[in-house]
Structure 1
Amino acid sequence: MYGPDDLARDVDVSRETLERLKTYAALLAKWQKAKNLVANSTLDAMWQRHFLDSAQMAPHLRDVFGERKLSMLDIGSGAGFPGLVLAAMEIGHAHMVEANGRKCIFMNQVSRETSAAATIHNERIEAIEPFPVDVVTSRACARVLQLVNWAAPFLGEGVEMWLLKGEGAEEELTEAQACWKMDINRYQSLSDPAGVILRLSAIQRL
């Protein structure tokens, strides 16, 4: 079964970072029993389905942005994927946006116990006053068009969107491009053969 050592091999994380992710995973397993934070069917495979899926974005972000710390806006954060994992990996400060209160309490505890730089916003993205960010992230939350519409107030010059998507990604992109102009880069997912990481840049409304 895929585990933390496999993730460390595939994404090249430090021992210290891996310990933080192990703390996160232990909290997820503990809280899941009472709070149902992720689909129960994914819990046994959490290192591949949730942690690798999120962590695989980090090398690509570093390739694009270098070592500078990023300000990230994570839409529909759920149990913290991918933004809180990226924060635990010291990619930068993650603003986690989640309307579900119990998931926000969970993310706050993870942030405290892993020292991940994160601010948890217990509200809907539409209710948040825009502030400067470098990157908008999201996973398993909504279609590309909806995500771009939600992110629009934050999309200043140079702001990019990095989205984890499944096999319907191309159809969603076609839908979004009817309303938005954007440059698209695609990275093959390490966690899902049908999955893709989408990097959307130079986003402009048509």
Structure 2
Amino acid sequence: MREADINPDIENLIQAFGVSRETIDRLEIYQSLLGKWQSSINLVGPATLHQFWTRHVADSAQLVALAPPLARRWVDLGSGGGFPGLVIALIWASRPATDGGAVHLLESDGRKCEFLKTVIRETGAPAVVHEGRIEEISQQNPDIFAEIDVISARALAPLDRLLLMSLPYFDIHTIGLFMKGRGWQEELTASEVSWNMDVEVVPSKTDEEAKILICRQPKLRQSGLR
């Protein structure tokens, strides 16, 4: 580890989320690769690149505590630059081998898929990249996506659309961890027209205006989406 002794953002990450020093080493490799690839592929907002540890890693890491402790199959929709899914995988890399598990990163942009694969290769993260449309990947790999424990998404789509995209990945025990910004209430209200589900609203630990919507057993109402 090169930065942790002098970077307060890293120390805060360790204290707030219990991230191991071994995980920090892997995250530093991720940070380095992100900086190199960002010049040719827009992986994150350019203005947020210097906020890697706070805006991106800490924001993603908070999902771990909301997931079932024994979760083994995690699906991240529209992974893009790897947030939150790749961060989850890097944290999982330090779990006991007996816990196992893998994070499945779904992304339609081939260039971003190559970036994700590079980070996985360089860090040994327990993750698998699936290139294609979210709605089609589950049909192409039904065995892989059976009995998913957690589905996550960050800044991907409005909630009603996100639920439709993620529905094939939900099982009776699956939870959706959907990260939403200041418009979360409007999205939730709009989704209730077409969807019936159990929802728990959890405040974000990194953004006072943001929420994490924990969704269970979504069902499309008979009226369907308008």
Structure 2 length normalisation: TM-score?
0.84
Which residue does 2:135 correspond to in 1?
Answer: 126
Q: Measure the CA separation in 2 of the matches of 1:56 and 1:176.
A: 24
Aligned to 1:192, the other structure's residue is in SS state coil
Which of 72, 75, 79 lines up with 1:73 in the alignment?
75
Deviation digits for residues 87-141 of structure 1, max 9, x if unmatched?
A: 1111741111111111100100111112111111111112211421111110011
Look up the equivalent residue of 1:74 and give its one-letter code. D
SS of the residue corresponding to residue 182 of structure 1 reads strand
Residue 172 (1) aligns with residue 187 (2): yes
Paired residue type of 2:103: A
In structure 1, the residue corresponding to 2:73 is in which secondary structure?
Answer: strand
Larger radius of gyration: 2
Whether 2:47 is the aligned partner of 1:41: answer: yes
Which deviates the most, 183-192 or 105-114?
A: 183-192
Q: In the alignment, is residue 136 of structure 1 matched against residue 151 of structure 2? A: yes
Q: Pairwise CA RMSD of aligned residues?
A: 1.5
Report if aligned partners of 1:161, 1:199 keep a CA contact under 8 Å in 2: yes
- Equivalenced residues, count: 202
Offset at residue 204 of structure 1 (A): 2.1
Alignment of 1:23-38 (within 5 A): 23-38=29-44
Instruction: State yes or no: 1:50 paired with 2:56.
Output: yes
The SS at the match of 1:162 is: strand
Alpha-carbon separation, structure 1, partners of 2:58 and 2:110? 25
Task: Compute the displacement of 1:2 (Å).
Answer: 6.0
Map 1:106-117 onto structure 2 (within 5 A): 106-117=115-126
Letter in 2 for 1:89: I
**CA contact under 8 A between 2:116 and 2:129: conserved in structure 1?**
yes
Give TM-score, length-normalised by structure 1.
0.92
In 2, Cα distance between equivalents of 1:35 and 1:17 = 25
1:42-89 deviations in Å (ceiling 9; x for gaps): 11112111111101111222xxx12x2421111111011111110111
Deviations 1:128-167 (A, max 9, x none): 1142111111001101111110111122211111111101
Is 1:17 aligned to residue 33 of structure 2?
Answer: no
Q: Distance in 2 between matches of 1:22 and 1:10?
A: 18
Shift of 1:41: 0.6
- 1:82 alignment partner, one of 81, 84, 99: 84
> In 2, Cα distance between the equivalents of 1:3 and 1:110?
21
The answer for the alignment partner of 1:186 in structure 2 is 201
Question: Could you tell me how far apart the structure 2 residues matched to 1:196 and 1:2 are?
Answer: 25
For residues 187 and 22 of structure 1, the distance between their equivalents in structure 2, rounded to whole angstroms, comes to 28
CA distance in 1, matches of 2:175, 2:17: 22
Of the structure 1 ranges 134-143 and 4-13, higher mean CA displacement relative to structure 2 is found in 4-13
Q: Which runs of 5+ in 1 are unaligned?
A: none
CA contact (8 A) 2:30 2:119 kept: yes
Q: What is the identity, as a one-letter code, of the residue corresponding to 2:205?
A: L
